[in-house]
Structure 1
Amino acid sequence: MIDHEALGWAPGTVGELDHHLLKAPSVKLRGAHPGPAGDTVYCIDLRLRRPNAGESLGSAESHSLEHFLLEGFQRLLPRHFIGVGVMGCRTGFYLTLHNEGRRARIEDALETILRGVLAATAVPYARIDQCGHWRDHDLARAQAVAREVLERRAAWRDIA
């Protein structure tokens, strides 16, 4: 059994929640799935925009942010990173980690990545030989989103 509180997650916010109640930006444990060998896969909801509030991310900035999150989590949590993907509703990202579910560690990594977005002069992996839609990036908009999310860092635990 996984002790969500020991990992820093409020038990009442773990799992699927009514999207009318979700706040953004927020970092939420969506699920923790133990494996037969004692390992655990964690799915983290990195919510940058409120659902159903007309605040979704545009294609180019969400694509660029996805690239920054991919590069950053691979670099900062290399033994734990499985993947990151854009939510279909374009209000955030799903982060999947192996054997790393500590909220503070995940939030610190996210903060480091977003600070890197602000300092960047280019989007990682955005060349034609690295990206299937390499022209669909917007560094300036990704930086604006990163700035907004960082400005509200103190509210990341206010899920609903």
Structure 2
Amino acid sequence: MERIKSFSVDHRQLKKGIYVSRTDGDILTLDVRMTEPNNEPAMDPKAAHTIEHIGATWLRNSEIARHVIYWGPMGCMTGFYLIVRDLDFEAAIPYVKEALSVVRDWEGPIPGAAPEECGNYTYMDLPKAESRSLHYYRDPLSYAEKNVMWI
């Protein structure tokens, strides 16, 4: 099998930040790197699940809702993918930042955390999700137009 392009990116070089992962016509995939791979601890899966629920709910209720295709964690637990249609990189960045600040400041029940709404509804950890989102903001958020990793 051919090696996929994302495995050709040297993950030792990645820092926290927002990158263009790939473009497919009008579809843009963003790599929202929450930690430095292989250098900082990965996210706790329960925290990632919580960030997924809150972030997806907020994004799908935001001004860019009609553009959002997917928001979910990477299998390596070092970040999230945001897949959007008809939205460019610069326009998406403020919404990614706001989604993570919403998680950081969340109070109340976690959206979709009921047995009829989620296949693993008890697999959540709000304090760790808030902490991980805060960790994202402790250092200046880095991104640049030239941070295109693979296309």
TM-score of the alignment, normalized to the shorter chain, above 0.5: yes
Work out whether 1:19 is the aligned partner of 2:11. Answer: yes
- Counterpart of 1:46, as a letter, is V
Q: For the Cα contact (< 8 Å) 1:86–1:92, is it kept in 2?
A: yes
5 Å-filtered alignment, 1:138-149, equals 138-149=125-136
Contact 2:32–2:79 (CA<8 Å) still a contact in 1?
Answer: yes
Per the alignment, do residues 108 and 54 of structure 1 end up closer, same or farther by CA in structure 2, a change over 3 Å counting? closer
Aligned: 1:66 with 2:47: no
Larger RCO (CA under 8 A, 6+ residues apart): 2
CA distance in 1 between partners of 2:97 and 2:110 (Å)? 17
| AA in 1 matched with 2:100 | L
- With over 3 angstroms needed to count, the CA separation of the structure-2 counterparts of 1:54 and 1:111, relative to structure 1, is closer
Task: Name the counterpart of 1:151.
Answer: 138
Q: Percent identity?
A: 23
Between the two proteins, the alignment pairs up a number of residues equal to 138
Distance in 1 between the 2:40 and 2:89 partners? 31
Structure 1 residue runs without a partner (length 5+): 1-14, 35-39
The reply on whether 1:28 has 2:10 as its aligned counterpart is: no
Normalised by the length of structure 2, the TM-score is: 0.83
TM-score normalised to structure 1 length: 0.78
Take 1:102 and 1:43, find their aligned partners in 2: how far apart are those partners?
9
Of 78, 92, 102, the match for 1:106: 92
Q: Establish whether residue 50 from structure 1 lines up as the match of residue 36 from structure 2.
A: yes
For the residues of structure 2 that align with 1:126 and 1:60, how far apart are their CA atoms?
12
> In 2, Cα distance between the equivalents of 1:20 and 1:115?
26
Deviation string 1:75-104 (CA, Å, 9 cap, x unpaired) is 12111000122111010111110011232x
Root-mean-square deviation (CA), in Å? 1.9
Deviation at 1:123, TM superposition (A): 1.6
Alpha-carbon distance, 1:54 to partner = 4.9
Unaligned regions of 5+ residues in structure 2, if any? 1-5
